[in-house]
Structure 1
Amino acid sequence: MYTAELIKGKTYSVMGHVFLLNQVKEIEKKVFQYLDGNEFFNCTEVKAPVDDSKTDDQPKEKPSEEEPKKEEEPQQGQKIYTESELKGMNKTEQEAIVIDLGGDPSQLKDKSERIAFILERQEQQEKAGE
């Protein structure tokens, strides 16, 4: 598994990924290879813990106990934006959020439509997560 974090600039879009400043995202190997060495990114290869594979005495149930924790992490890391925060953002920042929420910025005509889309999609995700 690979991760990349934008450390300079506000947004960066590459190979279907939109990065926001200081946001760590999981990426594929080819994206890692492309971004590794770019001064705007901090790229890392996250290796699986070696200790689990060395110890055969551990019951097989432990890895399954860890799986729900992994599923919860992305939900906690997702920022909920307020209308006033969104109004203070520029078009590029708003479009990056629209893409992260599964939308198509080209379908939204102006700032008010982008903001409405983001707020509505966040509300839908909150209801689905409960």
Structure 2
Amino acid sequence: MYTAVLIKGKTYSVMGHVFLLNQEKEIEKKVFQYLNGNEFFDCKQLDVPADDPKTDEEEPQQEEKIYTEAELKGMNKTEQEAIVIDLGGDPSQLKDKSERIAYILEHQEKAGE
């Protein structure tokens, strides 16, 4: 089992998780690997009992969240930028909310193919 705590900033959205400052969340291995080493997070891998049959199994791949335009419009800048980063983009290259939304809609379709 893995956990992460946002220690800098107010909110952070990544891989379908929304982190709030100083609130610990249980996360998947994939998210742990992505966030571990990020200065904004305190990530921990908790010990799994030796008799747990899941220890030798690969965790199931989670489907990437597909956001609708309405969902994206309801998000704040930080949440949209986190999604852009998840999709391999650079939020500093996008001028405003409409460009971030257009980028996300376009690139999440490509990622799902």
TM-score band, normalised by shorter chain: 0.5 to 0.7
CA distance in structure 2 between the partners assigned to 1:107 and 1:10 by the alignment = 21
The aligned length equals 97
Highest relative contact order (Cα 8 Å, sep 6+), 1 or 2?
2
Q: Which residue of 1 is the match for residue 18 of structure 2?
A: 20
Task: Name stretches of at least 5 consecutive residues in structure 2 with no aligned partner.
Answer: none
Alignment RMSD (CA, Å): 3.5
Q: Which runs of 4+ in 1 moved over 2 A?
A: 9-12, 19-25, 43-49
CA distance in structure 2 between the partners assigned to 1:125 and 1:109 by the alignment = 22
What TM-score comes out, normalization by structure 1 length?
A: 0.55
Contact 2:5–2:41 under 8 Å retained in 1: no
Task: Name stretches of at least 5 consecutive residues in structure 1 with no aligned partner.
Answer: 13-18, 37-42, 53-62
SS in 1 for 2:107: helix
What TM-score comes out, normalization by structure 2 length?
A: 0.62
CA distance in structure 2 between the partners assigned to 1:100 and 1:80 by the alignment = 12
Identity of aligned residues (%): 59
Q: Which residue of 1 is the match for residue 46 of structure 2?
A: 46
CA distance in structure 2 between the partners assigned to 1:71 and 1:106 by the alignment = 33
